[in-house]
Amino acid sequence: MSADVAVRVDKVTKTFRMYHERNQSLKSAIMRGRTSVHEDFLALNDVSFDVPSGSTFGLIGSNGSGKSTLLKCLANIYYPNSGSITHYGKIAAMLEVGSGFHAELSGRENIFLNGSILGMSKKDVTRKLDEIIDFSGVEQFIDQPVKNYSSGMYVRLGFAIAINVDPDILVVDEVLAVGDADFQEKCFNKFADFKKAGKTVILVSHSMDTVKSMCDQAAWLSRGTLQAVGEAQSTIAAYVDSLHRDAP
Residues 84 and 173 in one domain: yes
Q: Mean pLDDT over residues 67-75, rounded? A: 91
Q: For residues 34 and 78, give the distance between their C-alpha atoms in angstroms, rounded to a whole number.
A: 29
Domain boundary among 109, 129, 164: 164
Q: For residues 163 and 171, give the distance between their C-alpha atoms in angstroms, rounded to a whole number.
A: 10
Task: Give the CATH number of the domain where residue 28 resides.
Answer: 3.40.50.300
Residue pLDDT, tens place only, 155-185: 888 888 888 888 899 888 876 665 677 877 8
Residues 173 and 159 in one domain: no
Residues 82 and 9 in one domain: yes
Q: Mean pLDDT over residues 58-71, rounded? A: 91
Domain boundary among 126, 145, 164: 164
Residues 128 and 179 in one domain: no
Task: Give the CATH number of the domain where residue 119 resides.
Answer: 1.10.8
Q: For residues 148 and 150, give the distance between their C-alpha atoms in angstroms, rounded to a whole number.
A: 7
Q: For residues 153 and 56, give the distance between their C-alpha atoms in angstroms, rounded to a whole number.
A: 25
Residues 172 and 86 in one domain: yes
Domain boundary among 131, 164, 197: 164
Does an H or E element contain 173, and which?
strand 169-173
Residues 64 and 175 in one domain: yes
**What sections of the chain are H helices per DSSP?**
26-32, 67-74, 107-117, 122-136, 151-164, 181-196, 208-214, 232-246
Q: Please state, for a pLDDT cut of 70, what percent of the chain lies above it.
A: 86
Q: For residues 182 and 14, give the distance between their C-alpha atoms in angstroms, rounded to a whole number.
A: 38
Residue pLDDT, tens place only, 21-40: 555 555 555 555 555 566 78
Q: Which residue has the higher pLDDT, 19 or 148?
A: 148
Residues 55 and 66 in one domain: yes
* Residue 159 belongs to domain spanning: 97-164
Residues 24 and 84 in one domain: yes
Residue pLDDT, tens place only, 90-115: 888 877 656 678 889 999 999 999 88
Specify the number of domains making up the chain.
Answer: 2
Residue pLDDT, tens place only, 40-55: 889 999 999 999 999 9
CB atoms within 10 A of CB 198: 11
Q: Which residue has the higher pLDDT, 227 or 115?
A: 227
